[in-house]
Structure 1
């Protein structure tokens, strides 16, 4: 993608690869674990997943920890090792302990915490590589990240379904436990010199009376934290990143029918775990295609135009699910499996393309010293919208009477979820008009 290979890029790729494995092997096995071992219905499973995903909504906290509390003078390597070990412990215990809702929620949340925290750590490395680069280079870096994630998802997707069908969800979760350990081994590839951050803070200029960011608080760590909070606040207020992030939140926070569709596929249409794994496999292909299309054709397209077109295309694609839940596809001679594979690829590819522009902007505006924190804050907006979407989808499924074996109102669920994605369009004017020649300002501190 036009970038010079380096150990740091390899470490970034491995971390995103592990995220991709979690998205396929981890997510699929957890879904079957909730369905078959915990005996949940769609609303309960969606609510459970939303709670377990809370660690992805508080990512700025991890950024503050890594930026202000280095371990042995380093902000990247030690935390990546801790995350790898924590993920191994969480998925390992989830696979061997009895399937109780309380312990399952605890270890599923710990597993998400390990992956989310490592995401913040590695994103700090990405932002450091992006600083000072042009839009095209920053776009290539983001393409490497999300392309690696897609490869991780692609390489483990079908295997996860095959494994669940052969041995069950819990042994498959045991296999998932070993992938976070890869991050421990690759942490040494990150070039990071040990520094005395406490000494650096004490050596700073005396606080200015007129600068709230430099008020003395009597402790070097607290002083650094206050300074980063002040810098982070000003960076977030930049309209070039705040307004697109707000629009994406509104766009992605609408109710989702994904949780109910998993039960519809398995209990109503009778799809096997292998075939559900095949869906995950093609979703990985669609992610790679989305990254390629963005990196090749769309990374220089003005944001407002890109978001508008993708929203309309996404709505049109969403309506195709009505054909499946009503059985019209079979009347047209289209097999359920063929229809689902095509529809899933289309929706996944569009979703990946839509996410890329905001990631490029987020990486480019991050100021030095709080890069992990700011990038994590911006990504948490997207993650929070996903949690809201799952909770709204669970509430809507409950309201419509959809259960593990009752799908009479799936048509209404699809219709409401699809039309809700049009609601943010009046707010599209909030997205700034940024072209490839528009300079994105940086924050001085």
Structure 2
């Protein structure tokens, strides 16, 4: 028994990839920074007196760096910094991230403009580090597929690691976020949050990465490298098998958001204190982890269309259940507000995670070699851009329906109308041809391998010709000397 156990751990140790550690640290740091989410919301609501619609609009502006993720991916793919494509960028932007939280601690509450500018800088830094972490994630998945190892094999398991660890970081931050607001000020929580990107910066110094010899690369080589990345990206993206699923994902994520108005409803109408809001965030994060585990263990082999259609319909009904809360029907049915919100949050987040996981796995599988960061960042930015537009549309609907912090009488109508947008992309789910995408990727891999084999055979044949020429020259010289 002990021999088998030792052999099992030995296999895990031998197959372990050190890149998983830096991937996990990047994901955890990103998740645990949600410690300041409630503080930011209360700062915008109480200190600056923003309405739900304006808060949604302003927060969406700070997420612009997540929309242009392909640009950051292109930089890290084609422009090594101090000889490294990944390591140096993590160190640089995690340090900027930490300084951003310190600046928010000192100057954030001085004016709305300074607060939004600092939040934009924090989002930019976090986004760049996220792009680098996801690039390493895709590289590891590609290498494992070539080696055909069993340890964490496949894109689904690699995606589960990144988003599971990030959710675990969110879980820890949610556990403390509400309670800390009773003990510390918002500014002090901002300062605490700076410790996590600072820790990531220090840990990144120990990450081992193959160094690029910048002196051996001419300026033309670097320029050609960037242009080649852009060219490869465009050739890959213009394939109908790629851009049609991307368009579907974009439309799905454009459903108007209700997050800001529900935050106001929870605090102003239901009177939830920060500690309970922290418990709700804890439930969100726990449900995310549960969704990742369920997908990775039981649903990863289910076809994309089947799981996407099923979870989308389930998510629609879970979303519509909020009408019971905002119309106060749960009180008539003698269901406690807190109990209802906890149960509803579990279902919404769990089904939502099962809904988004197939999209993330599909994105990871579609990424070609050498432009991992650019392609995966483009796919993720599609999700982020759709979510940003969803926040904008949500604000527009709130203004049009006259729903604000003083009037929630039409909030049920807002939820009913915006819920319809969740179902709109379903008729076009057939554009995702999963098997054809996989076949196309396999053909590209075979073509690249064939090119490498042809190049190697050409190199060997040219080397043999040189040896034959050298031998003939040597024979001729010997014959001349004998004569």
* Distance across 2 between alignment mates of 1:80 and 1:124: 12
Partner of 2:94: 84
Partner of 1:60: 70
Partner of 1:18: 29
Spell out, residue by residue over 1:317-336, the C-alpha distance to the aligned partner (whole angstroms, 9 max, x if none): 11110100011111111100
* Distance across 1 between alignment mates of 2:333 and 2:435: 44
The answer (yes or no) to whether the contact 2:100–2:122 under 8 Å persists in 1 is: yes
Spell out, residue by residue over 1:180-238, the C-alpha distance to the aligned partner (whole angstroms, 9 max, x if none): 112212213433111125635x5xxxxxxxxxxxxxxx833221111110101122234
Partner of 2:105: 95
* Distance across 2 between alignment mates of 1:244 and 1:274: 40
* Equivalent position to 2:213, from 193, 196, 204: 196
Instruction: State the Cα distance separating 1:40 from its structure 2 match.
Output: 0.8
The answer (yes or no) to whether the contact 2:55–2:260 under 8 Å persists in 1 is: yes
The answer (yes or no) to whether the contact 1:73–1:195 under 8 Å persists in 2 is: yes
The range that moved more, 358-367 or 112-121, is: 358-367
| Residue pairs, 1:288-307, within 5 angstroms | 288-307=289-308
From the CA coordinates, give the structure whose radius of gyration is larger. 2
* Distance across 2 between alignment mates of 1:386 and 1:299: 24
* Distance across 1 between alignment mates of 2:286 and 2:403: 31
* Distance across 1 between alignment mates of 2:396 and 2:295: 34
Instruction: State the Cα distance separating 1:365 from its structure 2 match.
Output: 2.8
Partner of 2:468: none
Partner of 1:308: 309
* Distance across 2 between alignment mates of 1:240 and 1:302: 16
Alignment RMSD: 2.1
In the alignment, structure 1 segments of 5+ residues that lack a partner are 203-217
Instruction: State the Cα distance separating 1:433 from its structure 2 match.
Output: 4.1
Change (3 A) 1:436 1:376: closer
Instruction: State the Cα distance separating 1:439 from its structure 2 match.
Output: 7.1
* Distance across 2 between alignment mates of 1:238 and 1:437: 13
* Distance across 2 between alignment mates of 1:254 and 1:326: 22
Change (3 A) 1:306 1:436: farther
* Distance across 2 between alignment mates of 1:186 and 1:85: 12
Instruction: State the Cα distance separating 1:239 from its structure 2 match.
Output: 4.4
* Equivalent position to 1:106, from 117, 125, 137: 117
* Partner SS for 2:205: helix
Instruction: State the Cα distance separating 1:14 from its structure 2 match.
Output: 1.1
Matched pairs, number: 427
* Distance across 1 between alignment mates of 2:85 and 2:263: 40
**TM-score of the pair, normalised by structure 1:** 0.91
> Is it true that 1:363 corresponds to 2:364 in the alignment?
yes
* Distance across 1 between alignment mates of 2:234 and 2:50: 41
* Distance across 2 between alignment mates of 1:239 and 1:27: 39
Instruction: State the Cα distance separating 1:405 from its structure 2 match.
Output: 2.9
The answer (yes or no) to whether the contact 1:42–1:263 under 8 Å persists in 2 is: yes
In the alignment, structure 2 segments of 5+ residues that lack a partner are 1-10, 449-483
The range that moved more, 111-120 or 302-311, is: 302-311
* Distance across 1 between alignment mates of 2:369 and 2:410: 51
Partner of 2:173: 156
Change (3 A) 1:293 1:189: farther
Partner of 2:54: 44
The answer (yes or no) to whether the contact 1:20–1:149 under 8 Å persists in 2 is: yes
Instruction: State the Cα distance separating 1:366 from its structure 2 match.
Output: 2.1
The range that moved more, 317-326 or 347-356, is: 347-356
* Distance across 1 between alignment mates of 2:439 and 2:287: 30
Change (3 A) 1:241 1:353: farther
Instruction: State the Cα distance separating 1:348 from its structure 2 match.
Output: 1.1
Change (3 A) 1:32 1:434: farther
Partner of 1:214: none
The answer (yes or no) to whether the contact 2:178–2:278 under 8 Å persists in 1 is: yes
> Is it true that 1:232 corresponds to 2:251 in the alignment?
no
* Distance across 1 between alignment mates of 2:209 and 2:374: 18
* Distance across 1 between alignment mates of 2:434 and 2:222: 39
Partner of 1:400: 401
- Higher-RCO chain (CA-CA 8 Å, sequence separation at least 6): 1
The range that moved more, 232-241 or 79-88, is: 232-241
Higher helix content, 1 or 2: 2
* Distance across 1 between alignment mates of 2:438 and 2:116: 47
Partner of 2:475: none
Partner of 2:133: 122
* Distance across 1 between alignment mates of 2:242 and 2:300: 16
Instruction: State the Cα distance separating 1:423 from its structure 2 match.
Output: 1.1
